[in-house]
Amino acid sequence: MVSPIWLLLSLAIVFSSTVSAFSGNFKLTNMTVSSPSQSSANSTEGSYVEFNFGDEDTAQISPIHCCVQWAVNASPPTTWPGSCDNDTFAVLVSSWTGVQDLTLDLQHTYIDNSVGEYPYNVLTKFANLSLAYPSTQYYDCDMSKAECQGSSAITAVVTSSTA
């Protein structure tokens, strides 16, 4: 029979491995958010959110380019589209008032053999990022063009994860 102390110790080791595996946040760089029809009713250009998506836990993977686009006078897609150049990264515009106020749901799935064997080594991290102009640091907007840029890396704090 397995001693309760050994069982607790085993769980603590697994839990500490999982915690360390999820220690990093997401970094978004080269961000542009544009919605020409927001500043000009005659615009025929759609809206988009574009950036490079990096994960501090997988620094060996270069930041991945992501872009979510939608048509004039439409809402952003409501499903997780294949919006990133690497399908292990995903972004969803979950809230949209305009370039000055939006929320991104971000996720990244990757394999980390340090936490165990399949399927326990498949990790997914999640973050929500609210971008509000002018209150979000490094998020600068030119409202006359309805376009915003990230002037530096913007951190999206990882709030949950699964293994």
Q: First vs last Cα of the chain: how many Å apart?
A: 28
DSSP secondary structure, 69-87, as one string: EE-TT-PPPSS--S-BSST
Question: Mean pLDDT throughout 81-106?
Answer: 95
pLDDT in tens, 13-25: 333 344 445 679 9
Domain count, the chain: 1
Question: Mean pLDDT throughout 9-16?
Answer: 36
Task: Tell me what the pLDDT averaged over the chain comes to.
Answer: 87
pLDDT at 110 over 60: yes
Domain that holds residue 93: 4-162
Which segments of 22-145 does DSSP mark as H helices, in order? 36-39
Which segments of the chain does DSSP mark as H helices, in order? 4-21, 36-39
Closest CA to 55 of 97, 91, 13, 15: 91
* Residue linked to tokens 């704090």: 157
Closest CA to 30 of 126, 116, 150: 150
Question: Mean pLDDT throughout 73-83?
Answer: 88
Q: Which helix (H) or strand (E) holds 149?
A: strand 147-150
Looking at residue 138, what DSSP letter applies? T
